[in-house]
A and B are shown apart, each in its own frame.
Chain A
Amino acid sequence: MRTDTTPPEREQRRGLALYLGGIAVCVLLIGIGAVWGNVHYTRTLERSRARQAERVRAECAERGALFVARIPGNLPATDPQDDAWDVAPVLEVPLQRQALTMPMLEQASVARVELQALTDGSAIAFRVSWEDPTQDTHVDAGRFADGVALQFPLTRNAAFTMGDRDQLVQILHWTALWQLDVDEHFQDVQDLHPNMWVDLYWFAEGPPWRLPDSFQDPRSLQWLVGYSAGNPLSDFRRRSPIEELVAEGFGTLTVQPRAVATGRGVWSDGRWRVVFSRPLATDDPLDYRFWLGGSGKVSAAVWDGSHGNVGGRKHYSNWVDFEVSP
Chain B
Amino acid sequence: MPERFNWQIGRPMAYPYDGPQPERQVAYVFDTNKCIECQTCTVACKTCWTSGKGQETIFWNNVETKPYGGYPLEWDTRLLDQLGPAEWKGKRLASRTIFEQATGKDSDKQPPFGHRPAVEDYAAPNVGEDDITGLVEKGGHFAGVHPIWMFYLARICNHCDNPACLAACPRRAIYKRVEDGIVLVDQERCRGYQECVRACPYKKVFFNVVSRISEKCIGCFPRVENGEVALCVQSCIGKIRMHGFLTTRGEPREDNPLDYIVRIRRLALPLYPQYGTGPNVYYIPPIHVPTRFLEQLFGPGVEQSRRLYRGLAGDRRLLGCLLLFGATDRMITRFDVQGEVAIGWNDAGEEIARVPITEPSWVRDHYDEKYDAYRHNTT
When the two chains form their complex, are residues A231 and B190 in contact, meaning their CB atoms are under 8 A apart?
yes
Q: A253 — which chain B residues lie within 8 A by C-beta?
A: 171, 191
The answer, among A204, A223, A226, for a CB contact under 8 Å with B212, is A226
For residue A21, CB closer than 8 A to chain B, the reply is no
Q: A24 — which chain B residues lie within 8 A by C-beta?
A: none
A205 to chain B, nearest CB (A): 12
12 A–B pairs (Cβ distance < 8 Å), ordered by A:
A103-B168, A103-B170, A141-B121, A142-B118, A142-B119, A142-B197, A225-B187, A226-B187, A231-B189, A233-B211, A234-B210, A312-B193
For residue B249, CB closer than 8 A to chain A, the reply is no
For residue B109, CB closer than 8 A to chain A, the reply is yes
Measured in the bound complex, the distance between the Cα atoms of B55 and A224 in whole Å is 9
Q: A101 — which chain B residues lie within 8 A by C-beta?
A: 109, 170
When the two chains form their complex, are residues B56 and A234 in contact, meaning their CB atoms are under 8 A apart?
no
For residue A236, CB closer than 8 A to chain B, the reply is yes
Q: Beyond A101-B109, A141-B194, A225-B215: 8 further Cβ-contacts under 8 Å?
A: A139-B212, A141-B116, A189-B54, A223-B50, A224-B52, A229-B188, A233-B191, A251-B170
For residue A164, CB closer than 8 A to chain B, the reply is no
When the two chains form their complex, are residues A231 and B213 in contact, meaning their CB atoms are under 8 A apart?
yes
Q: A103 — which chain B residues lie within 8 A by C-beta?
A: 109-111, 168, 170, 193, 195
Q: B210 — which chain A residues lie within 8 A by C-beta?
A: 188-189, 211, 224, 234, 236
5 tightest A-B CB contacts, nearest first: A223-B52, A226-B211, A311-B193, A234-B211, A229-B187
For residue B207, CB closer than 8 A to chain A, the reply is yes
Instruction: Work out how many contacts link A and B, with CB atoms closer than 8 A.
Output: 127
Interface of B is mostly: loop
Chain A residue at minimum C-beta to C-beta distance from B115: A142
Q: A227 — which chain B residues lie within 8 A by C-beta?
A: 211
For residue A60, CB closer than 8 A to chain B, the reply is no
Measured in the bound complex, the distance between the Cα atoms of B191 and A231 in whole Å is 9
Interface of A is mostly: loop
For residue B310, CB closer than 8 A to chain A, the reply is no
A104-B109, A230-B188 given; A251·B171 CB < 8 A:
yes
Chain A residue at minimum C-beta to C-beta distance from B195: A103
> What's the tally of chain B residues with a CB closer than 8 Å to chain A?
42
The answer, among B53, B117, B189, B195, for a CB contact under 8 Å with A188, is B53
When the two chains form their complex, are residues A140 and B209 in contact, meaning their CB atoms are under 8 A apart?
yes
Measured in the bound complex, the distance between the Cα atoms of B208 and A229 in whole Å is 14
> What's the tally of chain A residues with a CB closer than 8 Å to chain B?
42
When the two chains form their complex, are residues B108 and A102 in contact, meaning their CB atoms are under 8 A apart?
yes
A231-B190, A233-B213, A310-B194 given; A224·B170 CB < 8 A:
no
Interface of B toward A, CB cutoff 8 Å: 49-56, 106, 108-111, 116-119, 121-122, 168, 170-172, 187-195, 197, 206-213, 215
Measured in the bound complex, the distance between the Cα atoms of B52 and A211 in whole Å is 11
Interface of A toward B, CB cutoff 8 Å: 99-104, 139-143, 177, 188-189, 192, 196, 198, 201-202, 204, 209, 211, 215, 222-231, 233-234, 236, 250-251, 253, 310-312
Measured in the bound complex, the distance between the Cα atoms of B184 and A229 in whole Å is 14
Residue among B54, B192, B195 facing the most chain A CB atoms (10 A cut-off): B54
When the two chains form their complex, are residues A209 and B187 in contact, meaning their CB atoms are under 8 A apart?
no
When the two chains form their complex, are residues A189 and B194 in contact, meaning their CB atoms are under 8 A apart?
no
Measured in the bound complex, the distance between the Cα atoms of B212 and A115 in whole Å is 29
Measured in the bound complex, the distance between the Cα atoms of B126 and A140 in whole Å is 21
Residue among A101, A141, A224 facing the most chain B CB atoms (10 A cut-off): A141
When the two chains form their complex, are residues A102 and B110 in contact, meaning their CB atoms are under 8 A apart?
yes
When the two chains form their complex, are residues B54 and A99 in contact, meaning their CB atoms are under 8 A apart?
no
